[in-house]
Amino acid sequence: MTEPGPSVIETWVRVLSDGGVLHGEREEAGVVAASRVVGESRLSELRDWMAAQGTPSQHRVRAAAIELCIWMAVVDRVIDPSERGLLVEVIRSSTLEPPEQARLERLLSIALSDTRKLAHVETLAEILDHPTLRELMLALSWHVANVDGFVDDLERASFERLAGIFGVDPAVADQIRELDLSCEGAAPPARA
């Protein structure tokens, strides 16, 4: 069975920017998880929006999504080996150009000791500006915070802050936090 963490994050960042093209079981698992968060129709709308953005914008969105995941991973000033491994795998599978992948890996390495190197969350929110994408990124940030099996108060507060910056209703943010993104079992009915 495929490990759920990487399939969710890798595929959301990659599949959406590739216009929703599915390449295998991992991508399908990621789409199932994304559908649990936003529903099939909103996911399709997001794919159409991404496809219309053009390659440079798609790459900016992909890089911003990864940077947001790095931000969430270091927000508690501790990066668990499972968080680091997950993010390295995401960066390497992102299909971004090698120099951009190298930049993101360097950013991951130095972000824990110098968070000033990270883009401000508000800046990333300007790039990640589609409402459906923002809900998916909120779910991803929660998933990154929880990948080590423990979410501390600082990570919880950062999730709530991010929901506010993204303009996600607190009730929706609570629903996102409670979702099981492991892709096991039947998908619950998606929100409208």
Structurally, how many domains does the chain consist of? 1
CATH value at residue 84: 1.10.3680.10
- Phi-psi domain of 185 (left: phi exceeds 0; alpha: psi -120 through 50; beta: other): left
Q: What pLDDT was estimated at residue 47?
A: 83
Q: Are 62 and 13 in contact (CB under 8 A)?
A: yes
**Domain of 157?**
56-178
183 is a domain residue: no
Rounded to whole angstroms, the Cα distance separating 161 from 136 reads 15
Stretch 96-110: mean pLDDT: 93
DSSP string, 39-51: -HHHHHHHHHHHH
Q: What confidence tier does 14 reach under pLDDT thresholds 50, 70, 90?
A: low
Rounded to whole angstroms, the Cα distance separating 109 from 191 reads 37
169 is a domain residue: yes
N-term to C-term CA, the chain: 30
Q: What confidence tier does 20 reach under pLDDT thresholds 50, 70, 90?
A: very low
The residue behind tokens 């209703």 is: 169
Other C-beta atoms lying within 10 Å of the C-beta of residue 183 = 22
* Structure confidence by residue, pLDDT tens digits, 42-65: 988 888 888 888 888 888 988 999
Q: Is the pLDDT of residue 18 over 60?
A: no
